[in-house]
Amino acid sequence: MTDTTALLEVRDLAVYFRGAAGVARAVDGVSFFVDKGETVALVGESGSGKSVTALSLLRLIDPPGRIEPGSVIRFEGTDLLALDEERMRQLRGRRIAMVFQEPMTALNPVFTVGDQVAEVARIHEGASRADAWKRAVQMLARTGIADAERRARDYPHQLSGGMRQRVLLAMALLLSPALVIADEPTTALDDTIQAQILDLLRTLQQETGSAVLLITHDFGVVAEMAQRVLVMYGGQVVEAAPVRTLFAAPAHPYTAGLLRAMPRIGSRRTRLDAIPGTVPPATAWPSGCRFRDRCAHEWEKCASEAPVPIEVAPGHVARCHLVSDPARRAAANLAGAPT
Amino acid sequence: MSDASTALVRARDLTRHFAVGGGLFRKPSNPIRAVDGVSLDIARGETLALVGESGSGKTTTGRMLLHLERPTSGTVTFDGTDLASLDAKSMRALRRRMQLVFQDPFGSLNPRMTIGDTVKEGLLIHHLAEGAAADARTRALLDEVGLRPEWADRYPHEFSGGQRQRVGIARALSVGPDFIVLDEPVSALDVSVQAQVINLLMELQRQRSLTYLFIAHDLSVVEHMADRVAVMYLGRIVELATRDAIFAEPLHPYTQALRSAVPVADPNVRARRIVLAGEPPSPANPPSGCPFHPRCHHPAKDESCARLVPPLEEKAPGRLVACFKQPPSSVSWEAQQAAGGTRAPTLHLPVLATDARPA
């Protein structure tokens, strides 16, 4: 970890929701960093805590959810959890921007898309109405919207899903933020449109130099976009590695299981290697390792002792007892690609 | 297209138009042609995948095959019987043999019914079992789809998405169907659970000799499950072929683009992508001629593509493609020239293989 240069550093982040069903430990001891300009993928299934992690970076957790004491979020050297609400608001959109999955709900239906992009410049930079509009139209054109001058006067419902996602990218990247958090930005889109939007995100990122924290469940998207990957399960990061390492030599059985469970064009099998069971609710993680009841390699230690993150190799960390037990690890023979 | 004797489901020239607009002071605009002349055969025991993007008409096609939606024109034949010829009573009897599994395992189950009652309902309606016998059949069905029989008294909200999808499958199986339309059955599920449900569907097909129409947009799942694949664009089938042919050598320019857009889950390769221009047009206002021509990348694309509607025709045994720029075609070069064509048809097979990704 390079504390001095990391753009974003998250340490021991915990977000709990207290309700009638008990305490849901949605995020529970998450640590990671994002460097300037890099793309880090945050991967996991529903209920893994990846979206709650993203929202907590912007301090957008509403009661009964709470970021627990002891959590640290450091961004450009500033402790975000110590900022007052006014300074946090200035930061959102300007230095950290967010792109959501569902562009229809993320846009205001009663304002034109041009107004909504222009508003970003007016709020954060005090640009005049005319100047902000001009910048909005330029930015919309940069996202590949043809005839941007006219399209800027359209309302969100007049645009297709792919175009609305371009508008969101225009809003997010208008002020060249240091970090863009993109939460499943292409999940709602068709494949050919997804390809366009991912290309666009890459291009804009090169122009602005922004880092991207890309939240996704799709390993195809991960392989195409990310330099590093964080895999979440049970509210924790269970594995972190450079992208090629993660695909070639996953160290956590959950990562290996996900990679083997997905169908891949060109390597057909009679059966997919499914991971048995389902993600348990956040109110009832198993004791010890949270993945153990779905794991093929469980032994006594997994129930009695919660694994801590252990370094597999420089830059590669996994939260699994196998890492510190070479004999068992060799026997488990974790492989990402189906054999 | 398969032989008439083996086709369980047969559709001919299906169209479905929806009236839009209109009202007290407005004239109705052009109808939306959601499905525009679809013909296909599904052989007994096979899985035919129907692939396309949102708005391509795949779900409407699936619903018409089940007669849940009436075609505007065209016919559906099930096991030799023209569905339009049936009265309500005969249709009800036939309904038992054709079932639907929905995409959304949350919205498709009645939240106030136990999962046991949901599965049992079909048995009772079709008088297949009653009383203790129906309960026993229900428990056996839950067991068959990988749910514990003692869960029959629980309600849908107590189950995860994958478990609810198993309930939906058990409900479809309860009446002993021959044919099931699977409408995006795994799209809403997480990767690990998706694999479980795919395995279950394929096992059930083997054990019960089921025939599937598998509606999907995820090509990697399609390659895993399908025997043949039909690709739809703007209400029409643009390509229909065996799975191996479609994935090894897609012939229609749209299939080629769709195939190339699938992200490759391997960081060591970078896909060679055909990036389509623009957005899919609206079915309310489809382009003239070939519906794909405004976005097409075929090197021989010319004015004739905007004027002539390409027929879905055989390019090789069992390979149907709607593109007269991919030879051979019944639309002769002379006919294309007469329609303003300036570029002679030429076989276009873009390399879809992947390049090594720079480190």
pLDDT at B356 over 80: no
A231 is a domain residue = no
Length of chain A (residues): 339
The alpha carbon of residue B149 is apart from the nearest alpha carbon of chain A, in Å, by 16
What does each C-alpha distance from B42 to A290, B58, B287 come to in angstroms?
45, 15, 29
Radius of gyration over alpha carbons of chain B, in Å? 22
Same domain? For B68 and B195 the reply is: yes
Q: Which residues pair with A289 in a beta bridge?
A: none
Provide the 3-class DSSP secondary structure of residue B231. Answer: strand
Residues of B whose CB is below 8 A from A194 = 261, 263
A286 is a domain residue = yes
| CB pair distance less than 8 Å for B223 and A163 | no
Same domain? For A102 and A218 the reply is: yes
pLDDT at A268: 72
Same domain? For B275 and B145 the reply is: no
What does each C-alpha distance from B139 to A128, B147, B148 come to in angstroms?
69, 9, 8
| CB pair distance less than 8 Å for A274 and B192 | yes
Of B76-85, B181-190, B264-273, the least confident: B264-273
A67 is a domain residue = yes
Q: Which domain, by its residues, includes B327?
A: 251-356
Residues of A whose CB is below 8 A from B167 = none
| CATH (domain of A57) | 3.40.50.300
Average pLDDT in chain B = 90
Provide the 3-class DSSP secondary structure of residue A11. Answer: strand
Same domain? For B177 and B292 the reply is: no
B323 contacts B251 by C-beta, under 8 angstroms: yes
pLDDT at B285: 82
Same domain? For A210 and A137 the reply is: yes
Same domain? For A62 and A29 the reply is: yes
The distance from CA A116 to its chain's CA centroid, rounded to whole angstroms, is 24
Distance CA B129, CA B119 (A): 12
Same domain? For B100 and B201 the reply is: yes
Percent of chain A whose predicted confidence (pLDDT) is above 90:
65
Q: Is the Cβ of A187 closer than 8 Å to some Cβ of chain B?
A: no
How many independent structural domains does chain A possess? Answer: 2
Q: Is the Cβ of A257 closer than 8 Å to some Cβ of chain B?
A: yes
Same domain? For A128 and A277 the reply is: no
A243 is a domain residue = no
Chain A residue with the nearest C-alpha to that of B353: A266
Task: List strand residue ranges (DSSP E) for chain B, in order.
Answer: 7-18, 32-43, 47-51, 73-78, 81-82, 98-101, 179-183, 211-216, 228-233, 236-242, 269-271, 313-316, 319-321, 354-356
How many independent structural domains does chain B possess? Answer: 2
CB hemisphere CA count around B71 (13 angstroms): 25
The encoded tokens of residue B203 equal 């096992």
A158 is a domain residue = yes
Same domain? For B296 and B220 the reply is: no
The encoded tokens of residue B96 equal 């038992």
B135 is a domain residue = yes
pLDDT at B1: 46
B281 is a domain residue = yes
Same domain? For B96 and B159 the reply is: yes
| CATH (domain of B154) | 3.40.50.300
pLDDT at B98: 95
pLDDT at A220 over 60: yes
CA angle A221, A224, A227 (to 5 degrees): 105
Same domain? For B183 and B149 the reply is: yes
Q: Which of B195, B211, B237 is the last residue of a domain?
A: B237
Provide the 3-class DSSP secondary structure of residue B43. Answer: strand
Same domain? For A64 and A127 the reply is: yes
Most confident of A29-43, A259-273, B176-190: A29-43
- CB-CB: which of B53, B223, B265 is closest to A220? B265
Distance CA B229, CA B51 (A): 7
Same domain? For A165 and A265 the reply is: no
Percent of chain A whose predicted confidence (pLDDT) is above 70:
97
| CB pair distance less than 8 Å for B265 and A146 | no
pLDDT per position as a tens digit, B142-157: 999 999 999 999 999 8
Q: Which of B237, B263, B297 is the last residue of a domain?
A: B237
Same domain? For A142 and A212 the reply is: yes
Alpha helix ranges (H) inside chain B: 58-65, 88-95, 115-125, 131-144, 161-173, 191-208, 219-225, 243-248, 253-261, 303-307, 333-338
| CB pair distance less than 8 Å for B268 and A274 | no
pLDDT level of residue A134 (50, 70, 90 thresholds): very high
pLDDT at B26: 66
Q: Which domain, by its residues, includes A93?
A: 8-226
Same domain? For A172 and A97 the reply is: yes
pLDDT at A321: 96
Residues of B whose CB is below 8 A from A258 = 191-192
pLDDT at A258 over 70: yes
Provide the 3-class DSSP secondary structure of residue A234. Answer: coil
Residues of A whose CB is below 8 A from B194 = 261-262
B1 is a domain residue = no
pLDDT at A2: 44
Distance CA A99, CA A118 (A): 16
Radius of gyration over alpha carbons of chain A, in Å? 21
The alpha carbon of residue A36 is apart from the nearest alpha carbon of chain B, in Å, by 19
Average pLDDT in chain A = 90
Same domain? For B216 and B103 the reply is: yes
pLDDT at A81 over 60: yes
Chain A residue with the nearest C-alpha to that of B273: A195
pLDDT at B359 over 80: no
Which has more pLDDT, A332 or A322?
Answer: A322
pLDDT at B28: 61
Same domain? For B299 and B215 the reply is: no
B140 is a domain residue = yes
The distance from CA A64 to its chain's CA centroid, rounded to whole angstroms, is 22
Site from A51, A228, A278 to mutate, B interface, most B CB atoms within 10 angstroms:
A278
The alpha carbon of residue B50 is apart from the nearest alpha carbon of chain A, in Å, by 15
| CB pair distance less than 8 Å for A247 and B262 | no
pLDDT at A3: 47
- CB-CB: which of A45, A219, A274 is closest to B199? A274
Same domain? For A167 and A260 the reply is: no
pLDDT level of residue A295 (50, 70, 90 thresholds): very high
Burial of A230 by CB count in 10 Å (0-12 exposed, 13-18 middle, 19+ buried)? buried
| CB pair distance less than 8 Å for A259 and B265 | yes
Same domain? For B24 and B156 the reply is: yes
Chain B residue with the nearest C-alpha to that of A258: B192
Q: Is the Cβ of A195 closer than 8 Å to some Cβ of chain B?
A: yes
A235 is a domain residue = no
What number is the average pLDDT over the span B243-263?
A: 93
B150 is a domain residue = yes
Percent of chain B whose predicted confidence (pLDDT) is above 70:
94
A77 is a domain residue = yes
pLDDT per position as a tens digit, A146-157: 889 999 999 998
Residues of A whose CB is below 8 A from B160 = 278-279
A161 is a domain residue = yes
B243 is a domain residue = no
pLDDT at B169 over 80: yes
Residues of A whose CB is below 8 A from B157 = none
| CB pair distance less than 8 Å for B190 and A45 | yes
B2 is a domain residue = no
Same domain? For B224 and B273 the reply is: no
B64 is a domain residue = yes
- In this prediction the pTM is 0.89
Same domain? For A219 and A299 the reply is: no
pLDDT level of residue B25 (50, 70, 90 thresholds): low
Of A93-97, A286-290, A300-304, the least confident: A93-97
Same domain? For B274 and B190 the reply is: no
| CB pair distance less than 8 Å for B276 and A192 | yes
Q: Is the Cβ of A273 closer than 8 Å to some Cβ of chain B?
A: yes
pLDDT at B270 over 60: yes
Q: Which of B237, B272, B307 is the last residue of a domain?
A: B237
pLDDT at B29 over 50: yes
pLDDT per position as a tens digit, B311-343: 999 999 989 999 999 999 999 999 999 999 999
